[in-house]
Amino acid sequence: MAERIGWDQALSLARSGAREDPMRLGELADQVRRARHGNRATFIHNLQINPSNVCVRDCAFCGFAALPGEPGGYSLDEEDILGEIAASGAAEVHIVGGLNREWDFNRSLGLIARIRRAFPQLHIKAFTAVEIDWFACQSEIPVREVLESLKQTGLDCIPGGGAEIFSERIRKRLFPRKIGADRWLEIHETAHRLGIPSNATLLHGLGETPEERLGHLFRLRELQDRTGGFVSFVPLALQTGAAGGRESTMGPLDDLVMIALSRLVLDNIPHIKAYWPMLGLSTAAVALGWGADDLDGTLGLEKVAHASGADTPRALAAGEMVRLIREAGYEPQERNGSYQWVTRSA
Ligand code: SF4
């Protein structure tokens, strides 16, 4: 596909291509993926930390959060977090959590400082745009200053969560108290302008139309044309345990079609992730032939997807990632948080 895919072609592929000839869609995405990444598929030894699930928002699809005072709320302390990182030996820590007044900006900044002091080489990916917005609003500090402080303290990258689907229709129905598309994009653009790379996501299965999915992808592509700051795109499949359940049409084929469309439309974002905790291991492995080139990581203590019904293992050993990729017919390559290759001595 020499020319950049436009809206009409993408919509045609999203509608009829997905319904009538999904294998062709997969083949087109695989061609693009192979031109970029050959037969290689990457993964990272990382650790996800969710400091607290207490959250003042009440998103209808979220099975992770507890409102303040509700049973089931938890909050880790800094010593526990540092201990978990030390025990993991991970190359990257991925920190996301609820909007908890006990975990305000100063405390969160302090956590990043302590992690950076204790683990100078660790890649720190932390705080979604939703959390950055919360820090800025609570502290009455501009987003730019929040991000500058985090960067100076040791933050390397921000994750892509919280974007959900850029549709006001769905936001009003399912997550009306969460920031919308304009604010999410503004925060990522500010991060990119400060030299902080980020990921992007799309949560599918919320009852969105093909136009709404593509609208989301095209807004990401437009921002990436201006900043070049997105490193990776991660399509997220809504979990069956989440409130309301998945749409009846959702299933592994829909997940694969979403990945293929992402690879074709987001021609300016280097990596497409098959996020195995939400896809399932088999679908994630198959997704490597539908446009994905990275399986994310070993993850360790991930709670967000699993609290929403994911029935995948909580963590995979690096050896399991290698086996999964090999069995799918690809050449496994461990990487670090900057997508540089890592060679294990044993
Ligand atoms: S999705 Fe995020 S913002 Fe919404 S309730 Fe869950 S943790 Fe809070």
Calculate how far, in angstroms, residue 51's C-alpha sits from the geometric centre of ligand 1. Answer: 13
- What pLDDT shows up at residue 243? 45
pLDDT of residue 1: 57
Task: Output phi, psi for 309, to 5 deg.
Answer: 110, 0
pLDDT score of 301: 58
Q: SS3 helix, strand, coil % of the chain, rounded to 5?
A: 45, 15, 40
Q: Are strands 46-49 and 198-204 parallel, antiparallel or unpaired?
A: unpaired
Long-range contacts of 103-111 (CB under 8 A, 24+ apart): 103/51, 103/52, 103/75, 104/135, 104/138, 104/139, 105/135, 105/136, 105/138, 105/139, 105/141, 105/146, 106/139, 108/51, 108/135, 109/149, 109/150, 109/153, 110/78, 111/51, 111/78, 111/81
pLDDT score recorded for residue 332 = 96
Q: What pairing do the DSSP bridges indicate for beta strands 40-44 and 294-297?
A: parallel
CA 242 – ligand 1 centroid, Å: 12
Bridge-based pairing of strands 294-297 and 92-95 is unpaired
Name residue 104's amino acid. Answer: D
Tokens of 260: 């293929």
pLDDT of the residue at 122? 97
Fill in the amino acid letter for 52.
Answer: S
pLDDT score at 303:
57
The pLDDT value given to residue 84: 93
Record the tokens describing residue 120, joined without a space: 């100078």
Query: Which atom of ligand 1 is nearest the CA belonging to 58?
Result: 5
Ligand 1 center from residue 330 Cα (angstroms): 35
State which ligand 1 atom lies nearest to the alpha carbon of 97.
7
- Ligand 1 neighbours, Cβ below 6 Å, are 55, 57-59, 62, 64-65, 98-99, 130, 178
Ligand 1 centroid – CA 6 distance (Å): 33
Distance 207 CA to ligand 1 centre (A): 18
The pLDDT value recorded for residue 245 is 43
Q: Please, what are the averages of pLDDT over each run of 10 residues along the chain (346 residues)? A: 87 82 91 97 94 95 93 96 93 96 97 98 98 97 98 98 97 96 98 98 94 97 98 90 48 92 98 92 94 88 59 70 93 95 74
User: Whose CA is closest to atom 4 on ligand 1?
Assistant: 59
Classified as helix, coil or strand, 67 is coil
Given ligand 1 and candidates 50, 52, 55, 100, which is best to mutate, with the most ligand atoms within 8 Å of its CB? 55
Give the nearest ligand 1 atom to 175 CA.
4
Burial of 342 (0-12, 13-18, 19+ CB in 10 A): middle
Look up residue 275 and give its two tokens: 């996020």
Domain 21-328 has CATH 3.20.20.70: yes
